[in-house]
Amino acid sequence: MALFLVTGGAGFIGSNLAEAILANGDSVRVLDDFSTGRRENLAEAPKWARAGGGSFEVVEGDIRDADTCRAATEGADYVLHQAAIPSVQRSIEDPARSNAVNVTGTLNLLLAARDAGVERFVSASSSSLYGESEVLPKVETMPPRPISPYALQKLAGETYCRLFHSLWNVPTVALRYFNVFGPRQDPGSEYSAVVPRFVTAIKKGERPIIYGDGEQTRDFTFVSNAVRANLQACEAGEAALGEAYNVACGFRISLNRLVEILAGLAGVAVEPEYAAPRPGDIRDSLADITKARELIGFRPEVGVDEGLHRVWEAM
């Protein structure tokens, strides 16, 4: 039975990871300061642990504190690093704080993982680091062009992962998430991702707000696909280490089309409200997932339509 440390485990992706790991019969230790993660996301975790036969514990703490990171990593076989301030807008409003969490926090965890001798360190990165290149699809060999502090911070985290592998042989993998959505994604914040905001607005009979003309496109990725990529990264061979991978479906839709799909699920006509584009937002996003398929065995199992249906039913 393996022990997985899931940083940010009370968050959206982290809690879905914890559930899947416990269902597999392994044990989970969550490290979270609950600044953006929600305790209710882990309310069922003791039940998941009993059903799978593993153990579950929560360490409440901040990854900006090196001692906290060392204590949480002790005894862990795998580190799945999801903790972050995950918002382009927040990084623009407060770049110092987001840098301290997203860069210094990642460095603290890598140092702890190196000293603990973990079997794998899998770090959540972001497609935002590709920036505004008009070339589609996005391929890992493209030069990064960050246009927000958040994107730069994720690039720095990836670079630290690569360096820790090359300099100290820490077995790292970085996963570049493309617009992950699914159950437990918070709809209530002004910083919330587009899918839960749109679903919530439409269910309330309100007009969803689109920043821009709505023709911007995204490669939406259901959360179970991201979970699968993390677990496959833990088992991938030596050739996969020290590398970064796109995690997506390899298919894009516009925000206007997203509203149409959700309106169909609601059975009503929906007219979005359009507002000025936000700084730091990327116009188009589409992933090439060849590298992830070849080196970590990743294949998305849940498409956009099925994922949106699941979210609609869950929220």
User: What are the sequence ranges of the domains in the chain?
Assistant: 3-178+223-249+288-301
Residue 122 has φ and ψ, to the nearest 5°, of -110, 120
Strands 253-254 and 217-218 turn out to be antiparallel
Q: What is the pLDDT of residues 48-66, one digit of tens each?
A: 999 999 999 999 999 999 9
Percent of the chain with pLDDT over 90: 94
Is pLDDT at 157 greater than 80 in this prediction? Answer: yes
Is the domain 3-178+223-249+288-301 a CATH 3.40.50.300 member?
Answer: no
Q: What is the pLDDT of residues 228-275, one digit of tens each?
A: 999 999 999 999 999 999 999 999 999 999 999 999 999 999 999 999
Q: What is the pLDDT of residues 170-224, one digit of tens each?
A: 999 999 999 999 999 988 765 568 999 999 999 999 999 999 999 999 999 999 9
List all residues 6 or more positions away from 186 whose beta carbon is below 8 Å from its beta carbon.
Answer: 12, 36, 38, 192, 196
Report field, pTM of the whole predicted structure over 0.85? yes
Residue 117 has φ and ψ, to the nearest 5°, of 70, 40
Percent of the chain with pLDDT over 70: 99
Instruction: Please give the positions annotated as active site.
Output: 150
**C-beta of residue 261 within 8 angstroms of C-beta of residue 305:** yes
Q: What is the pLDDT of residues 93-108, one digit of tens each?
A: 999 999 999 999 999 9
Residue 268 to residue 24: CA distance in whole angstroms: 40
Reading the block at residue 261, the tokens are 């799909």
